Structure formats: C-alpha cells, structure tokens
Amino acid sequence: MHACAPHRLRHLTARLLAIALMTAAGACGGDSAGTSATSGLRDRLVFAAAADATTLDPHNTTDTESDQVIMMVYEGLLGFDDAMKIVPKLAERYAVAADGVTWTFHLRSGVRFHDGAPLDAAAVKANFDRVLDPVANHKRLSLFSMIERVEAVDPATVRIVTKYPFGAFEPTIAHVSAAIVSPTVAAAKGKAFGSAADAVSGTGPYRVASWKKDQEIVLARFDGYWAAKGATREIVYRPIPEAAARVLALESGDVDVISRIPATDIPRLEQRADIAVHKLPGVGAQQFRFNLAKKPFHDARVRQAISYAINRPAIVQNLVASFARPSTSALTSIMRGYTNLGEIPYDPDKARALLKAAGFPAGFKTRIATTPRYPMGVELAEAVAADLKKVGIDAAIEVYDWATMVQFWAGLPPEKNTQEIFIMGAGASTADADWGLRPIFRTAPTNENNYGYYSNAEFDRVIEAAMRETDAAKRQALYTRAQQIVYLEDPGAVWLFDTLYSVATRTAVDGVRPQALGVVTFERASVRGS
C-alpha cells in the first residue's frame, strides 16, 4: 500500500504512521496503567522562572514571578478560569443584595489550610482585616479601598459590605491578592509571613515544601486538597535571570518549561520538534503615553497626529511579530468591558494636517523616555521617533533603567515631572475595564497612577458612573463610551500593540499554557516519561 504512494509523500506518510503508532502506544500505556494515575508520568516538573519570588505573601506582592507561585499555593473566595470568567473557589456560592453593596459568600465546607487549620468565616474576615490594615503597609491596600467592612455571619458565611455599589467587585475578589492565607501562620510569622517555606500556608493544590532563595522553590502536591489534585507530585521553580541561559536550559532538557522568552528566540524554538511554544493574548499592551501637563500635549489634535503618524503594522512586523498583535482599543480583547474600536490607521498626511491645525505646521521638538525593561523597549522608541520625524516631529530618545523610570511615576506633581512621551506597559491584573481605565486616566492631582495627568471631564463622569453600575448591559455601554474617548477622540496614549504571553515547553509536557494575566501555573501539568 505504501509502495503506491508517490515518493514525496512517503516520508510524510511514514511520519504520520509513526505518530499514530506512538499515540496508540501512549493510549495503551494509559489503559494498562490501570488505577495508578501517575504511571508513565514523571514525578517532577522543572520550570525556569525569570526571577525568584520576592515574597509568597499574596497581600503584599505586585510581581508576576511571585504571583504565579502564590496562585498554586493559595486560593481566594472567587477565581478566574482559563477564559477569565469568574468562578467560585473557596466560596461555594455568593449573592449580592438589592442594595448593591452587601455581598454574601457561602464557604465551601471541609476546606483546610496546609497547616491543618480549617477554613471558616473568621479566617476570611481575618484576611480582609489584614490586607486593609492601614498600618501594615500591604501593597495591595488601594485595590480593596471600596470595602467598608467584612463580617463573619456564621462559621460558613461571610458578608462583605462595600462603600458604594462597585461594578468590578467580583474580579477584585478573584484577584490574586484577595487570596486567603492561614490566619494562624500569618499571626505567628508577622511581617516575616511569606518569606520562607515555613512561613507560608494556603488552601491551594500545592504547598511549599522548600525554598532556597535564588536557587529553587519546591512545591509538593497537597494531599488534603478539596478539589481534583495535581497530576505531578512536585513542581520545581528554578530562577534563571539570564534570558539566553533560560532558553539553553530548555534546549538541553535541564528544565521542562520556560516563560519570558526573548522575542528573537521564539521563531527558532517554534522550529524545534522537541519543544512546543504556546502563545495567548492577555491583559498586557504596550503603549507610549503623553504627559498632558507639558505643552503641546495638552492639545488632543497633537496627540491624534502622533497616533496617526506611527506605522504600527511595520513596527509590529519588524520588531515584535513573535509576541504582538495590533491593538484595537484602550483595553485588550480578553478584558471585561472591552469594545473593538479597530486599529488606528497609518496616515501621515492626516497627521500633518492635524499638526498644522494645532499650530505646528513645521512640527516641534520633544523627548521619548523608554526603558529596556520592556521587551524591545529601546527599539520601539527608536521606531516611533523615526516615524515622527517624517511628519516633522523631532524626538530625542532617553533610556532609563527601571528604578529611575518609576521615579517619574511615583505621585509627582506636574511641575516636577520632566517626561514628555514615555513608554508604558499596561496590564490590569483584574482583567476588568475598571482597573484598566479608572486609576490610569481619571483626573488626579498627582500622577500616582495617572502617570500622564490625563484629564477629560466626560471621561471622568463616564468612568465614575461605570464603576458604580452593576447592570451588565449599562456598564458595557458606559465603558464603550470611555474607550471611544480615551482611544480615539482625546487619546491618552499611542496604543502600539497587545502583548501575547508565551510559554515554551518540552513536548513531553502537557497541561501548561500561558494565562491571560501573564502568569504560568501548573495545577494540571504533567510530564510524560519516567
């Protein structure tokens, strides 16, 4: 039969046959393994993280590398599924009263923390009291500022009352920093909670078995987990700060999974038969923002002109094709509240006309601040500057290290901020329009989060109304209007592209995908082989 196949096809046929045989063998192996679920699977998976976790205290972290370990160890009342839908976790069910501010959570029964303590309403209340304690300096305090009080109604029921009806309450409670930690261990460890393996305790599918700083975190499957237990007994996080070394470690088989892959390595890894690259659009987007307190950026026409002057398709194609796709709004497509407003076209003539109308027929001089912390951060600034040059705007590039860059975004009053155009990576960690727009573009006296002093009266009104709107359809209509204002009519930024999160695995690894929040988790991960 095979002899009849044309010569060129024979290879392909043989390869397909081999794959079919292997798949069949795999299936048989699975069957013959009988009741042992782990047969044919390895006991440990090794993940090369880009950095060690700074802390495993969920109430006190803002970095991805810590968050992705925390998500394996802790859970909140609510959580996100793969499609970023809200799902109940430690709360079995929940409801909001007619007043729009009283939320009642019914806790799942029989849930225990890794230290053996039971999860009850008192534990949940202790957690919210902990994160909201103004003296403790927990970094996530501002995220929960809408909470008025938390009550333990009975051991299985928690009531959370908000100061006003809050449209984004559920994603906020599903956020990683609303995770419930063991109050026993938290109280015993005080400020050291989350800083060592014995100072961590959650309810998640994995517990921290050991943590050697900068060397490895070993997570062990938690046998007392209330839901489906993990497929792999141990998950090892090995921080490799150097991106090139991370890629080599995957190629040599030292590690099974890597994230934060250098853009230039993605096409090569995609070619390899023993490595699989997975990509996913998430909450992340790359922008250049304007300092509206500086002239001429107070003029919407100037900002529109700059937006039209940038050849986004060329920039994406030439610099970031392996991890980007064009932006279509001020939010990314997976976020609640997103409206597709289309890509901003490349139109240098329109840009020149707008500049002329704004009183700059010959363009002007400006500066672009950037940081190599963002992938291709410097190259992107150079490309933007080259496009601006074509419409007469002469932009000098200033490169800062991260620590210096964030100085400009730390609650400075306008007169103290010298930046004009600056790079910014956006990514609302609740995957919701409220956190994605409100802190960033609502009028504020300093630039604590509204780094460019954006101010638009209609936007402020719409965003405030949307925040307090709990009706889904009305809420969506308000956010559509807000995006039209800040993306098209009175642009607060040049949206360059939405970021694709990528993860590369050995092909023996199953169940590992990037997630929309930019983290990688392993609760369903398995590695074939012995």
Partner 1 sequence: MTPPPLARLALSALRRLVPVLAAISVLVFSIVHVIPGDPAVIAAGLEASPATVESIRRDLGLDQPLPVQYARFVTRALRGDFGTSVRTRAPVGQEILDRLPHTATLAAGGVLLALVIGMTVGTASALSSHVVVDRLLTAASLVAASTPSYWLALMLMLLFSVTLGWLPAIGAGTPAHYVLPCLALGLQSAGAVARMARAAIRDVLTQEFLRSARAKGVPEWRVLLAHGLRNALLPVVSLVGLRIGGLLAGTVLVESVFAVPGVGRMMADAVVARDFPVVQGGVLVVAAMVVVVNGVTDLVAAALDPRVRA
Tell me how far, at minimum, the Cβ of 285 lies from partner 1, in Å. 15
- Is residue 133 near partner 1 by the rule CB under 8 A? no
DSSP 408-433: TTSS--GGG---SEEEEEEE-TT-BH
Cis peptide, bond prior to residue 296, ω within 30 of zero: yes
Length of the chain: 530
Residue type, 263: A
Output 140 or 221, the one with its CB closest to partner 1.
140
Stretch that binds partner 1, among 25-33, 320-328, 399-407, 493-501 (CB under 8 A): 399-407
Output 137 or 271, the one with its CB closest to partner 1.
137
DSSP 3-35: GGS-HHHHHHHHHHHHHHHHHHHHHHHHHHTTT
Alpha-carbon gap, residue 134 to 193, rounded angstroms: 17
Tell me how far, at minimum, the Cβ of 239 lies from partner 1, in Å. 6
Stretch that binds partner 1, among 95-103, 391-399, 406-414, 481-489 (CB under 8 A): 406-414
- Is residue 238 near partner 1 by the rule CB under 8 A? yes
Lookup: tokens for 474: 């009305």
Residue 216 burial (10 A CB sphere; 0-12, 13-18, 19+): middle
Among 9, 14, 19, 410, which residue interacts with partner 1 (rule: CB under 8 A)?
Answer: 410
Residue type, 222: F
Output 154 or 242, the one with its CB closest to partner 1.
242
Closest CA to 483 of 505, 503, 456, 508: 456
Stretch that binds partner 1, among 119-127, 327-335, 348-356, 396-404 (CB under 8 A): 396-404
- Is residue 192 near partner 1 by the rule CB under 8 A? yes
Output 285 or 355, the one with its CB closest to partner 1.
285
Output 105 or 435, the one with its CB closest to partner 1.
435
Stretch that binds partner 1, among 91-99, 131-139, 148-156, 322-330 (CB under 8 A): 131-139
- Is residue 241 near partner 1 by the rule CB under 8 A? yes
- Is residue 429 near partner 1 by the rule CB under 8 A? yes
Among 104, 157, 184, 446, which residue interacts with partner 1 (rule: CB under 8 A)?
Answer: 446
For residues 522 and 231, the answer to whether their CB atoms sit within 8 Å is no
Among 239, 363, 375, 491, which residue interacts with partner 1 (rule: CB under 8 A)?
Answer: 239
- Is residue 254 near partner 1 by the rule CB under 8 A? yes
DSSP 231-292: SSSEEEEEE---HHHHHHHHHTTS-SEEES--GGGHHHHHH-TTEEEEEEEEEEEEEEEE-T
Binding to partner 1 (CB under 8 A) within 22-81 occurs at 48, 51, 54-55, 61-63
Tell me how far, at minimum, the Cβ of 416 lies from partner 1, in Å. 13
Closest CA to 254 of 510, 65, 45: 45
Query: How far does Cα 229 stand from its chain's mean position?
Result: 25
Residues binding partner 1 (CB under 8 A): 48, 51, 54-55, 61-63, 134-135, 137-143, 191-192, 195-196, 212-216, 238-242, 244-245, 248-249, 251-255, 401-404, 406-407, 409-411, 429, 439, 446, 448-449
